[in-house]
Amino acid sequence: MTQIVSALTIAGTDPTGGAGIQADLKTFQEREVYGMSVLTSAVAQNTQGVQAVHHLPIDFIERQLDAVFQDIKPHAIKTGMISTIEMMELIANYVSTDSIPYVIDPVMVSTSGDALMEESSRQVIRDVLVPKATVVTPNIPEAEILVGFTIQNIEDMKKAAKVIVEELGAASAVVKGGHLDGKAVDVFYDRQFHFLEADRVNTKHTHGTGCTFSAAITAELAKGKSTLEAVKMGKQFITAAIRYPLNIGKGNGPTNHWGYRLKELPNQGGNENESNNND
C-alpha cells in the first residue's frame, strides 16, 4: 500500500483564503500531500488589511498539537504566524520531534503592512526556533529583523542568508528578493549559494505569497525531496501562482493556488535561475 504523505501547518487564519492556514492547506492539496493544521491565532483580515487578531489560549494550542501527534505524525512541519513567546516555546517542543523537516516562514508583517508578531517575540524566534529549522524563508524586511542590518542588494542578501545559517543556526535559508528594485533574485544558502531567478510579474495580487511558497517547500520535504529540490519546486509553484492571478479582492489579491496547472511543472526541481516578486 502506498504511504500517504502528510504535512502540518501551525499558523493563523485568513478568512478570505489567500494566506495563513487556508493558503497552506490549498498548497498541500495541490502538491498531493495530506494537509493538517494547528491554529495559533484567528485573524480578521482580507486583501485590504488586518482588522483584528485573537490569539488562541496556549493550552488549547497544545491540545491541538497533541491531537495531531498522537494520531497522524506529520512528515514535515511549517510554522507561519506565531506571535507570542509562549507559542514559540511550546511549538519548539514539537518541531524537535524525530528530526521531522521544519520550515519557518517568519511571518512578522502582512502584505498590507500590518504587524503580526509582538516585538518581544522576535528575539525568541531567532534564539529558539531558527536553530531547529531545515529552511527559513524570510522576505527582505523579515530578514533585516532576523539579522539586524539593512539589506539593499544581492550582496546584502547573501550576507543575511549566511548569518541565518552560520550564526543563528538554521540548516538553510532563502532570502527572497521581491522587495528590491529590478529583476528579483532569491538567494538560497545551504553552506553553498544558489540564485533563483524569474521574470518579475507586474501585479498587485501577491497576498499570501510567502505562505504559499513555504507551504510548497514543506510539501516537497514531506515527500522526501532534498532541501534544494524542494526550494526549486516551491519557486516554480509560486511563480505560476503569481503569473496567473485570480484578479479578486479590492486590495492586494490572493495568488492562484492552481496556477501551476496552467503551465505544467516537472516532478523534480527546476531552473536554478528562477525567482519573482514573492514576499
Query: How many angstroms separate the CA atoms of 193 and 71, rounded?
Result: 39
pLDDT at residue 264, rounded to an integer: 55
pLDDT at residue 201, rounded to an integer: 79
pLDDT at residue 275, rounded to an integer: 45
- H or E element at residue 25: helix 20-30
pLDDT digits (tens, 9 = 90+) for 186-209: 999 999 999 998 777 778 888 999
Does the pTM surpass 0.75? The reply is: yes
Note the Cα 172 to chain centre separation in Å. Answer: 13
Query: How many angstroms separate the CA atoms of 240 and 92, rounded?
Result: 33
Assess whether 239 carries a catalytic annotation: no
**Is 50 within a domain?**
yes
Range of the domain at 230: 6-262
pLDDT at residue 181, rounded to an integer: 65
Assess whether 210 carries a catalytic annotation: yes
pLDDT at residue 269, rounded to an integer: 38
Assess whether 49 carries a catalytic annotation: no
Work out how many domains the chain is built from and give that number: 1
Q: Which of 134, 209, 212, 227 is catalytic?
A: 209
CATH number at residue 69: 3.40.1190.20
pLDDT at residue 101, rounded to an integer: 97
For residue 166, give every residue at least 6 positions away whose Cβ sits within 8 Å of its Cβ, in sequence order, or none.
Answer: none
**Is 275 within a domain?**
no
- Using CA atoms, how far residue 255 sits from 8, 119, 205, 209, 241, in Å, is 21, 28, 6, 7, 5
pLDDT at residue 217, rounded to an integer: 98
Q: Mark the ranges of the chain whose per-residue pLDDT is less than 50.
A: 265-271, 273-275
Assess whether 269 carries a catalytic annotation: no
pLDDT at residue 13, rounded to an integer: 97
**Is 173 within a domain?**
yes
**Is 268 within a domain?**
no
17's grid cell: 483564503
pLDDT digits (tens, 9 = 90+) for 17-37: 999 999 999 999 999 999 999
Which one, of 8, 27, 19, 24, lies nearest residue 257 by Cα? 27
**Is 269 within a domain?**
no
